Amino acid sequence: MAGAGGGGCPAGSNDFQWCFSQVKGAVDEDVAEADIISTVEFNYSGDLLATGDKGGRVVIFQREQESKSRPHSRGEYNVYSTFQSHEPEFDYLKSLEIEEKINKIRWLPQQNAAHFLLSTNDKTIKLWKISERDKRAEGYNLKDEDGRLRDPFRITALRVPILKPMDLMVEASPRRIFANAHTYHINSISVNSDHETYLSADDLRINLWHLEITDRSFNIVDIKPANMEELTEVITAAEFHPHQCNVFVYSSSKGTIRLCDMRSSALCDRHSKFFEEPEDPSSRSFFSEIISSISDVKFSHSGRYMMTRDYLSVKVWDLNMESRPVETHQVHEYLRSKLCSLYENDCIFDKFECCWNGSDSAIMTGSYNNFFRMFDRNTRRDVTLEASRENSKPRASLKPRKVCTGGKRKKDEISVDSLDFNKKILHTAWHPMENIIAVAATNNLYIFQDKIN
Amino acid sequence: MFARGLKRKCVDQEEDGEDALAGFGTVPSYSLQRQSLLDMSLVKLQLCHMLVEPNLCRSVLIANTVRQIQEEMTRDGMGRGAAPQSTGRAPLDRLVSTEILCRTVRGPEAGCPVPDLGDSPLQGTPPELCIVNSAEVPRSPQSSLWEMDSPRENRGSFQKSLDQIFETLEHKSPSSMEELFSDMDSSYYDLDTVLTGMMTGAKPGLCDGLESFAAAAPAPGSSCKSDLAELDHVVEILVET
């Protein structure tokens, strides 16, 4: 855990020193909608980094091995595989389009030479196998080198085909398609710690799947009311506990989190734990419920805590305490006075994600104007950084940014009214072991590394 | 200030109807702010009926906001029986149009026995397990804003979608039609312009919205034309030309 900011670091700065490493994607000012990145995820080793976009494509980057011949590449990520995961569909019964946008990608733990990941759009989950081929068999008896069948009468001797090296080819093939199980839009998938099952959650239901079985799944949560007109709350995110394979959580649009134990009953409509922070009556407004809606929930690697993201803050919860979070970090409190405008332009409905670092000592989430925020839980310090082409010189340090909330604007500060609300960072990912972060800014993927790393 | 989330002010500071009209061009009264927030929310809900299935979470949150505003308006209406005519009349009009919007569009009740995920598989399987057979095509019972299909879906879907669109457009009040298109003005989304607009009152949208509630003027011809063009586009896609 190099430079993770926890104990054991040299006395001096525990702070991260983030530097620009790489940026992927077109420089064009005109962004094609299909190129907008919709999900980012490191695999378990951190060697692979997957992105999904609105056009239904998945791009996987692989970290280069550090080698003496190319000292400056220093563990750079380069394209490993690109494939079309989902295509646009049309639901004829409802006369509605089904978007091909990839909502989530989740990697499976690696069990052999091949890599597996789950990718999902609004309706269908697919299991993809990504495998390498770097050898080819030559010297077949029945086929020519170009594949044409040999005339059997001309074969006078038998030979054993031999394996010859070839240029590395990375192939992605869909191994399972899990379809037709969700009436509503899938917002989350989560692989269980048993590595055999996974859950998929839509607005009203959560289903449990076995990775080998595609024609049926178990419904484990159903919050659909008998009369849809009574609907006031939806599921916004769900995740399995990282170690306890019977435990999962799901968050709601009312700012609550329910922890469920699958051992208690087959249909987990009754939660084992219910996490909700009492509302602060002094800050109540018509927008209180909307900004309390949780857009993401993530367990810590330790499994002891979980983190939730609502519109203005990130909260860390201790699983043993349901009454309130143990930490609350303000992401962009200066937006509280602008909620009406943000409601008008729909920005208030933006769903930001959040993530932990490998040692659970720091958390990160995105904001507007291509800003993203990092909170160190030990030092209680936070920093605002920006993902922009201007700060894109190799190994250039990122300068902390500051938003001016009123009164005199200092030099280098940016005023709230100048923020670009079209430049939102919704998706970020942190390498599971090192201080490398991937930040998706519309159609560009930025990779930053900690200098100490 | 409008820019703040609309906090409830003390009762004794609450402006009367006279203030609402006299105050136009300066700071709108709380009731007017609340009113325009309600109208904005209703427009947002109407805009949901488009080609891609609406975001359910967003619709639910907006509907909850509408409900909150209406509840508060009702409480206020009852608490202030002697409210001046101008303030008293507008909220009721809006409440009526909300009713129409929230009513089930197609008529069949949500409780009709349409096989649904998690429901039908209960027969013939152990009561504890709800196996979702993915061979079944999910069909959801009709309801108001959340779903757009009904049991008579198969052949009727094309006609139904058009009906819905017409019905939705029909129920739109002239003032909200205008607002519909002011919403689509992309420069409007720039916070700077919005905030500047607050000060000068020159920008379309909220300030004009307030004006149009008072005037209740019919929509200009250009709005209707764009509306029809939009409909054409929708029809095109539905017939897959």
- Residue by residue, pLDDT tens for chain A (453 residues) are 444 444 333 333 357 889 999 999 988 878 899 999 999 999 999 999 999 999 999 999 999 987 766 655 568 999 999 999 999 999 888 888 899 999 999 999 999 999 999 999 999 999 999 999 999 888 888 888 787 888 888 888 899 999 999 999 999 999 999 999 999 999 999 999 999 999 999 999 999 999 999 999 999 999 999 999 999 999 999 999 999 999 999 999 999 999 999 998 888 878 899 999 999 898 899 999 999 999 999 999 999 999 999 999 999 999 999 999 999 999 999 999 999 999 999 999 999 999 999 999 999 999 999 999 999 999 999 999 999 988 788 888 999 999 998 777 788 899 999 999 999 999 999 999 999 999 999 999 999 999 864
A336 contacts on B by Cβ (under 8 Å): 5
Which tokens in the block code for residue A370?
A: 């291509």
Q: What is the largest CA-CA distance in chain A?
A: 92
The more confident residue out of B126 and A102 is A102
Closest CA to A291 of B43, B46, B61: B61
Contact A219/B130, CB-based, under 8 Å? yes
Q: pLDDT tens digits, residue range B148-186? A: 433 333 334 444 433 444 444 444 444 444 344 434 444
Residue the block writes with tokens 């646009």: A88
pLDDT at residue B231, as a whole number = 64
The three state secondary structure string of A6-66 is CCCCCCCCCCCCEEEEEEECCCCCCCCHHHCEEEEEECCCCCEEEEEECCCEEEEEEECCC
Residue the block writes with tokens 């989430």: A365
**Whole-number average pLDDT of chain B:** 52
Closest CA to A446 of A16, A115, A18, A17: A18
The more confident residue out of A255 and B237 is A255
State the pLDDT confidence band at B94, using cuts at 50, 70 and 90.
very low
Closest CA to A241 of A218, A213, A216, A272: A272
A267 contacts on B by Cβ (under 8 Å): 128, 130
pLDDT at residue A381, as a whole number = 94
Q: A269 CA to chain B: closest CA distance, Å?
A: 12
The more confident residue out of B132 and A154 is A154
Strands of the sheet with A354-356, listed across from one edge: A354-356, A362-366, A371-376, A382-386
Question: Distance between CA atoms of B140 and A214, rounded to whole angstroms?
Answer: 22
Interface with chain B: mutation pick from A38, A206, A344, highest number of B CBs within 10 Å: A344
Candidate from B61, B161, B195 with C-beta closest to A417: B195
Q: B220 CA to chain A: closest CA distance, Å?
A: 23
pTM assigned to the model: 0.72
The amino acid sitting at A170 is V
Q: What percent of chain B has pLDDT over 90?
A: 12
The more confident residue out of B217 and A186 is A186
Q: How many CB pairs under 8 A join A and B?
A: 188
User: Across the strands, what pairs with A57?
Assistant: A84
CA angle A85, A86, A87 (to 5 degrees): 135
User: SS3 for A264?
Assistant: coil
pLDDT at residue B53, as a whole number = 75
State the pLDDT confidence band at B101, using cuts at 50, 70 and 90.
very low
pLDDT at residue A8, as a whole number = 39
Closest CA to B197 of B5, B53, B28: B28
- CA distances in angstroms from A54 to A100, A203, A420, listed in the order given: 7, 20, 21
Q: Span B62-86, mean pLDDT?
A: 76
Interface with chain B: mutation pick from A210, A229, A342, highest number of B CBs within 10 Å: A229
Contact B102/A229, CB-based, under 8 Å? yes
User: SS3 for B76?
Assistant: helix
Q: Which residue of A has its CA nearest to B192?
A: A417
Q: Which residue of B has its CA nearest to A339?
A: B5
pLDDT at residue A278, as a whole number = 94
Q: B189 CA to chain A: closest CA distance, Å?
A: 5
pLDDT at residue A394, as a whole number = 84
Contact A285/B146, CB-based, under 8 Å? no
In this predicted structure, the answer to whether residue B99 has a pLDDT above a threshold of 80 is no
Q: Span B213-240, mean pLDDT?
A: 53
Q: Span B23-52, mean pLDDT?
A: 79
pLDDT at residue A416, as a whole number = 93
Contact B5/A92, CB-based, under 8 Å? no
The amino acid sitting at A129 is K
Helix (H) or strand (E) holding B101: helix B85-102
- Set out the domains of chain A in order of their start, with CATH numbers: 18-450 (2.130.10.10)
Contact A253/B60, CB-based, under 8 Å? yes
End-to-end CA distance of chain B: 49
Q: B222 CA to chain A: closest CA distance, Å?
A: 23
Which tokens in the block code for residue A177?
A: 């398609």
